[in-house]
Amino acid sequence: MSKHCLFCRIISREVASDIVAENDDCLAFKDADPQAPFHVLVVPKKHISSLNDVDDAQTAGALALMAAQVAREGGVADSGYRTVINTNGNGGQSVFHLHVHVLGGRKLTWPPG
């Protein structure tokens, strides 16, 4: 837990968010600036700055499982959705607590910008 990290503060409920799923390893909440009708962020409960810093399969697997779970529960699993992990500068990462974007509810274009 880093008291300077926005997503750690969301996990500890110091900062309000619209939570959609939670288990021992991860939390999922709605993105505050949604880029699609369905846009949820899935984060590990332990502070990990980026995908570069993941060193255990438990965390990686838990994130993937919860991403699929929220897509299913959000009703976008069958129509389709996209999972995105932005990493560092060129990847467009702005919050340095690892998070998986889960986007759906519209046809998403490819390639990304």
Enzyme catalytic residues = 99
Does the footprint of Zn ion cover residue 8 (CB under 5 A)? yes
Q: Which does 97 bind (CB under 5 to 8 A by kind): Zn ion, ligand AMP, none?
A: Zn ion
| Cα 101 from Cα 95, distance rounded (Å) | 12
Of the candidate residues 30, 47, 82, 106, the single one contacting Zn ion (CB under 5 A): 47
Q: Which does 5 bind (CB under 5 to 8 A by kind): ligand AMP, Zn ion, none?
A: Zn ion
Does the footprint of Zn ion cover residue 99 (CB under 5 A)? no
Q: Which does 8 bind (CB under 5 to 8 A by kind): Zn ion, ligand AMP, none?
A: Zn ion
User: Which residues contact ligand AMP by CB under 6 A?
Assistant: 6, 15, 17, 31-33, 41, 86, 92-95
Q: What is the DSSP string of the chain?
A: --TT-HHHHHHTTSS---EEEE-SSEEEEE-SS-SSSEEEEEEESS---SGGG---HHHHHHHHHHHHHHHHHTT-TTT-EEEE---HHHHT--SSS--EEEEESSPPPSS--
Does the footprint of Zn ion cover residue 97 (CB under 5 A)? yes
